[in-house]
Every structure is written in C-alpha cells, then in structure tokens.
Amino acid sequence: MGMVKVIFTANLRRYTGGVTETEASGERVRDLLVDLDLRIPGIRHYVVNDHGTLRRHVNIFVDGELVADRAALTDPLRPGCTVHILQALSGG
C-alpha cells in the first residue's frame, strides 16, 4: 500500500493542528481516513459521522475527481495520488 498526499483546506486546519499537507496510506478512501486519524487524532470525526459516512458539509477529491461513494467511502486510491479534503462553505 503506497502513500498518498493529503491536502486540507484552510477552514479544516483548525482541526489538524495547523497541518496543511501530509502523507497517509490506504487502498480506499475509508482506509485513508483511518490512517489519517492515527496521524492527526480526531480528524476523522470532522470528516465522517458516527455511521462512517461522509458528512454533508465535507467533500473529498481524489486527483481532482469528487468521491463518488459518500456512504461507504470505497473509492480506490493509487500510490502517489493527491487527496483534497474540503469543508463546504454555505452562504446566502
């Protein structure tokens, strides 16, 4: 299992201790989030709910493509890919 680059948007950095970019591993998005939580304790809580599904105010992109499986997070990752984790902003 290879490493992937993970980039957090500015509004999530308060949950990462100021980390803007890191590397983590996982074959699928859900595995990546488990590994990220070991590296940045608590980050998974802000990304997924108690059922393990992606929170509605969070989006994850893998190499520029929006994650398709928001429920089980089974989208595959390849070594060397880039994952962006963003907190959606709303306004009116």
pLDDT digits (tens, 9 = 90+) for 37-84: 999 999 999 999 999 999 999 999 999 999 999 999 999 999 999 999
Distance CA 81, CA 85 (A): 13
Protein fold of 3-87: Ubiquitin-like (UB roll) (3.10.20)
Question: With 70 as the cut, is the pLDDT of residue 90 above it?
Answer: no
Q: Nearest CA to 65 among 56, 53, 75?
A: 75
Please tell me the predicted confidence (pLDDT) of residue 2.
Answer: 84
What 3-state DSSP class applies to 20? coil
The dihedrals phi and psi of 81, each to the nearest 5 degrees, come to -75, 170
pLDDT at res. 11:
87
Q: For the chain, what percent of residues have pLDDT higher than 90? A: 85
